[in-house]
Amino acid sequence: MKNTVEGTMGTRNVPESVLALSSLSRIDYVDHFTLFTDVDATPEQWARAMFGDVPDAAERLIWCGFLGLRISRGRSPDTVAGWRIAGRGDDWIRLEADSWFVTGNLVVQAADGRMSLGTFLRYDRRLGRAVWPPLSAVHRRLAPGLLRGAAAKTDRYRLQP
């Protein structure tokens, strides 16, 4: 079961306890992927292992180019890959970014041999409803590998202060 990834999509399929971690007033899109692992890391360490401290070129293309998200380019203890750290608990961290047509949350949870990534979007304009569906298909194909890859990178982020 180790390194197995399970995924769900839609507000009817994602657990209410996960939906409650979003800050969005309305959720138009949600998916949730869980990696079963023996790697022990904090939610922030997992988030940094998945996305890095600053957005790479591919992330900037998708997040800024296609989605128009306003994210920072520099390294900061208040951001992960340019997304603002907007909330956290003992076993979760919420990252937020927005544009003129979409608002997003990335929620990373870590507990009991599992690490999860939830992606939440609210379409603030019609363009969001047109742009995200084709991108979401790619996102759902890449997410399991992203989680597995993070397990291999967490040592680097656990050693940082």
- CATH of residue 17's domain is 3.30.530
Q: Is the pLDDT of residue 160 over 60?
A: no
pLDDT at position 123: 97
Contact 59, 70 (CB under 8 A): no
Give the domain range for residue 19.
5-158
The total domain count for the chain is: 1
pLDDT band at 158 (very low <50, low <70, confident <90, very high): low
Contact 107, 22 (CB under 8 A): yes
pLDDT at position 142: 92
- Sheet bearing 92-98, strands edge to edge: 5-9, 29-36, 114-123, 102-111, 92-98, 83-89, 79-80
User: What is the per-residue pLDDT across 11-55, written as a single tens digit (0 to 9) for each?
Assistant: 999 999 999 999 999 999 999 999 999 888 999 999 999 999 998
Cα-based distances in Å from 2 to 22, 34, 46, 53, 153 = 27, 11, 16, 26, 16
Using the structure block, give the residue that is written with the tokens 């690490």. Answer: 115
| Of 1 and 35, more confident | 35
Q: Is the pLDDT of residue 3 over 90?
A: no
Rounded distance between C-alpha atoms, residue 98 and residue 36, angstroms: 30
Contact 30, 11 (CB under 8 A): yes
Average pLDDT of the residues in 108-126 = 96
Can you name the residues that pair with 107 across neighbouring β-strands?
Answer: 94, 118
Stated pTM of the model: 0.92
Q: Which of 56-60, 86-90, 143-147 has the lowest mean pLDDT?
A: 56-60
User: What is the per-residue pLDDT across 72-81, written as a single tens digit (0 to 9) for each?
Assistant: 988 999 999 9
- How far does CA 135 lie from the centroid of its chain? 14
